[in-house]
Structure 1
Amino acid sequence: MGKYNALGLIETFGIVYALEAADAMCKAADVELIGFENVASGYISVLVRGDVGACKTAVETGVKAVEDMGTEVYSSVVIASPHKDLEKIISRYSIKNLIPENE
């Protein structure tokens, strides 16, 4: 996982809330936005990585941003030391997969 050890994830309902969470997370701490996934019936997960403290700050801020918009966060978690094999799952959700290689 390179220099970043922790993962931060938030799951909420709807793209608008997911984007608000992602924006707040990236502005609040030194984290890298990995990507997002529409998991089921409109629930969308946002994934970030960074050091443990940054991920905790990012997740807390993202949760607050969604709640301030008047909706609920379905779930959130910080994984401080994810197993290296999780990279196989994380890479599937990378926004880098959405950008053509020519750009």
Structure 2
Amino acid sequence: MNRHEAIGLIETFGLVFALEAADAMCKAADVELVGYENVASGYITVIVTGDVGACKAAVDAGTCAVKQMEDGNLYSSIVIARPHGDLQKIIDKYAIEGV
């Protein structure tokens, strides 16, 4: 089982906003893009992992990028430091295949 120091998540409304968030997150810090999930009715969550500081920087950059877009649809964001090992099941479920 992989062990992650932190998980960063951003939830937006719409694919364009999710892609902008993911791009900003990956460019801002040394994080790994785990994947995304289309939660329901257009809400999309982007998931990254890395050390705590990198996830915080990535989430901050991603939320700023979405807010700067016209009609930026940021729903929520969070960084989970030292996630419980059982969360790996969720990470694995939404991981991008082949990455």
Q: What TM-score range do you get, normalising by the shorter chain?
A: over 0.9
Cα shift readout 1:4-37 (whole Å, capped 9, x = no counterpart): 3100000000000000000000000000000000
One-letter amino acid of the counterpart of residue 75, structure 1 = S
Q: 1:30 to 1:3 in 2, by over 3 A?
A: farther
Measured on the aligned residues, the alpha-carbon RMSD in Å equals 1.2
Spell out structure 1 runs of 4+ moving beyond 4 A: none
Question: Residue 22 of structure 1 aligns to which amino acid in structure 2?
Answer: A
The TM-score, its normalising length taken from structure 1, stands at 0.90
Deviations 1:44-72 (A, max 9, x none): 00000000000000000000000000313
- Aligned pairs for 1:3-14 within 5 A: 4-14=4-14
Amino acid at match of 1:65: A
Distance 2:90 2:37 in 1: 11
Looking at structure 1, the residues matched to 37 and 61 of structure 2 have their Cα atoms a distance apart, in angstroms, of: 20
Aligned to 1:59: 59
AA of the residue aligned to 1:93: Y
Q: Which residues of structure 1 form unaligned runs of 5+?
A: none
Task: Output aligned runs, 1:2-81, within 5 Å.
Answer: 2=2, 4-70=4-70, 71-81=72-82
Q: Which has the larger radius of gyration?
A: 1
So what's the TM-score if we normalise by structure 2?
A: 0.93
Identity among equivalent pairs (%): 67
Size of the alignment, in residue pairs?
97
- Give structure 2 stretches of 5+ with no counterpart: none
